Chains A and B, each alone.
Chain A
């Protein structure tokens, strides 16, 4: 990897990452402020009145403990969708744009080479996700500590949830990145990667609505991210994380191979 390029990209993209951190801060603050251990918070009343809609957004287990509340309302949908959006934008800015606009020509006219460029930009993507998840993890611990006096958060189990989220985002990001490496025009390179992932997310949302659609569960990689299971520290959840990371690795090796051999429109 190239340290110069890595630092340049992190610096250039930091404002964008910061924007997402702010959005997450806003949502996390709102959700946690709604927590009420006596189970009669407005959110929970609302959830009981329309269970299908809440289920679609991964909010079905209306439980009373703080960690269940957080994983339900934040890790069920919001923290899947926002980091995913950041993944998509970063794939465009780190790879799609350079190929489409032709500025990749300048990177390739240095002795770095394709392989290092692919790996450096991928590391920037992984770093961004790590920043987002680590920030969220620390933020929620702090918010819980400050705003919820009745109950303290089980930090170890909450950490498991975040490792699971990170693995999921790595996988979604790797798929986006693969598509950015394969296609020439940004419209395709970003559209296809994001499109497939959005399809996965929609299948996953449907699969949670009713019993008849539960079979859809097996058609989407998002099922490998189960916040409830992760928060129990169950061994199966570690298997899921391993599968997600392994698939990310396979996807990126594939992308690297294809990019190494293909013609570039520069």
Chain B
């Protein structure tokens, strides 16, 4: 469906994308994960035909993304990473304008989305908060019910409730067999939605993994606060790799926490916390091995 083949775009100073290749299959939700400046948006700009590759090819449905950008747009919904609407109009007017430009006559799905996202788009865009604008962006990306969605950091600016709603929308899109490509720098966002994930750093692919596989191999930090010092020392003795900060013990565990929880049931515990691994730690994991 979407094919990126030996894509290189060099912005100098090691910025850009270098010899990157991966594919997105039909009906799949693929996430691209990387820190800021790793090249996520550069890839999306290529897919949208805003820029052309120095080397390599970028194709959607077998068509070159730069040469045939206008044609490709008929089947693509796009959410830009940076929100830049025409700010001299109301949100609703802007939605209507883009709908007309996209040739949408039936706005019922757009209205459904507006309701679903609890969006009040009547006000002037320049007075809107980041979250409101993000919702308008989502409505515009989804309203013509395209077969392919390209979303650049779709949940940025949304509150947790809206993030849940976004996940719901993506699950629905998956049921309808849509192909989704989304970027993020937050693992959890990708984890809940995507089938596969491409992890990139400094413009190069670090790994491409199935989400199931990745979850399986994923480490988490467990922070345990013991009631008594004695018990803590006993636990520390059994887990020499655990780290201790005052009353709290921090332990890194791979995969399921089942065993740990069963073991802890014999202790008295004041507090228990789970911290997901940061993106940096995930990268270290791949570079380390």
Contact = CB atoms under 8 A, between A and B. Distances in A.
B66 to A, nearest CB: 9
A5 B101 CA distance: 7
Could you say which interface size class chain A belongs to? 20 to 34
Interface string B31-75: 000000000000001001111100000000000000001110110
A102 interface: yes
A105 B101 CA distance: 13
A105 B86 CA distance: 11
A179 to B, nearest CB: 20
B76 A105 contact: no
Most B-side CB within 10 Å, residue of A98, A111, A264:
A111
Where chain A touches its partner, the secondary structure class is helix
Contacts of B51: 263-264
Nearest to A93: B88
Contacts, number: 68
B78 interface: yes
A114 B102 contact: no
Nearest to B89: A12
A115 B86 CA distance: 20
Nearest to B93: A8
B52 A263 contact: yes
Contacts of A113: 69-70, 73
Given A101-B84, A105-B80, A110 B98 contact: yes
A102 B49 contact: no
A111 B70 contact: yes
B101 A103 contact: no
Contact of B80 (A98, A102, A111, A114): A102
A3 to B, nearest CB: 9
A49 interface: no
A215 interface: no
A111 B50 contact: no
A266 B102 contact: no
A266 B97 contact: no
A105 B48 CA distance: 9
Contact of A111 (B45, B48, B84, B103): B103
Contact of B88 (A12, A116, A264): A12
B101 A107 contact: yes
Interface string A110-124: 111111100000000
B69 A114 contact: yes
Given A105-B50, A108-B69, A266 B76 contact: no
A43 to B, nearest CB: 41
B78 to A, nearest CB: 4
B140 interface: yes
Contact of B101 (A2, A12, A261): A2
Contacts of B45: 266
B181 to A, nearest CB: 14
B82 interface: yes
Interface in B64-120: 69-71, 73-74, 76-78, 80, 82, 84-86, 88-89, 97-98, 100-103
A23 interface: no
19 contacts: A2-B101, A12-B88, A103-B84, A105-B80, A105-B84, A106-B80, A108-B49, A109-B73, A110-B98, A111-B71, A111-B74, A113-B73, A114-B69, A114-B70, A115-B70, A116-B70, A261-B52, A263-B50, A263-B51
